Structure formats: structure tokens, C-alpha cells
Chains A and B, each alone.
Chain A
């Protein structure tokens, strides 16, 4: 079984709709991250969380919100989706040890029409 899972894997939605992307992990890591990836722009950090009570904005948090429901679950919401939020979204986790290595989920391809 995958250590980091994301649901849904693909989603098409309309402008103005609220949508939630979910991430679950069985790695036992405390730190979780949400990224988006756009062609030519690379991976950009949206939000990150070090534990259930610690949520931090990343480089491009406008238009997004997150919820850390448990150590293993981190959700990303688009309150009112817009077409330029069409992208590939990745959840990642890392161990609180010194390695700082991040491990990615399989991704969600989101299209906003």
C-alpha cells in the first residue's frame, strides 16, 4: 500500500465551486505539505503543517485553505475555484528528524472550467 495517498486523483470542477483535496499518510511523519505544479513554474508550496495545531502559509496560499484533522490527514480546500487554479497538486510528508527529506503522494490533477 502507498505511504501517502491523495483523493481524488482527477477532478474537473466549475468556476466558483468549493472543492476539497485530501491527503492521508501512514509514514508516521509529523510534517505535511501541499504543493501545486504548473508547466514552466515548477513546484510551489501552498501550505505546510508541522502538527495538528501548527499551520503555515507557503509561497502561494491566496485562494486556498487547509485543515489538519489528525497527524495523518491534511486537506486542501479551494473555497471558490477559478480557472488559474488548474494544476497538478501534490501532498508531501517529512520526518521531524534531521534529514528534511520530503516524500510525495501520487498527485491530484485538478481542472477548473
Chain B
């Protein structure tokens, strides 16, 4: 069973702080990794994708991937109340599959 694990939270951070969201996955052959943001009652919105080890930055967001540790994280700098949402980690498993396995999400609350 391929699994993607996230701490459900809630993770509370003050406005302006760095929010750190973590995700681990069980399939060592996983190749592609995604972070989605989901506001309550809304659909998941893709915010970051990462395919190779290291960091990938996009504005206030940085995704970090460590395949040896089977660990992917999302950092949100200068957190804003509008960042309050549930963040879903998704993993594409081995070659030949186009399915994504989603974690259950971490709820982030940014306190003004």
C-alpha cells in the first residue's frame, strides 16, 4: 500500500512567520511530488511541483525534496492570514502510472 503521510495539524503560526509543512511517502520509487492548497469547501489548487532533490522556490513558497529520506516539505515565508488553508501533499509513484496518491492534508492557521 503506497502511503503519503502528513501531520493533520492544525499548525498555527503568527502572521509574518515561516510555516513549515511536512510529508513522508512510502514508495521509494516515487518520482514526482506536488503541493496543493485547499480552502474549506473549495477544490485543491496546485501551488508547487518538484521532481528532483533539493529546493525549488516560487515566490513565498519553497518546496524541498529529499528522496533518500522519502521526505518532501513546503515552506511558506512571510505567512499571511490568506494562507490559512489545508495543504495536501501528492506523490506520483513509479514510472508507467499517472495516478497521484494524496496525503490527508495539514490544516494551517495563520494568526493575525
Q: Which residues of A contact B (CB under 8 A)?
A: 31, 40-43, 45, 48, 50, 58, 90, 94, 99-107, 109
Contact = CB atoms under 8 A, between A and B. Distances in A.
A100 B32 contact: yes
Interface residues of B, number: 19
19 contacts: A42-B103, A42-B104, A42-B105, A43-B44, A45-B100, A48-B99, A58-B99, A90-B43, A90-B44, A99-B49, A101-B46, A101-B49, A102-B34, A104-B43, A104-B44, A104-B45, A106-B42, A106-B43, A107-B42
A109 B32 CA distance: 29
Interface of B: 32, 34, 41-46, 49, 88, 90, 92, 98-100, 102-105
Chain A binding surface, main DSSP class = strand
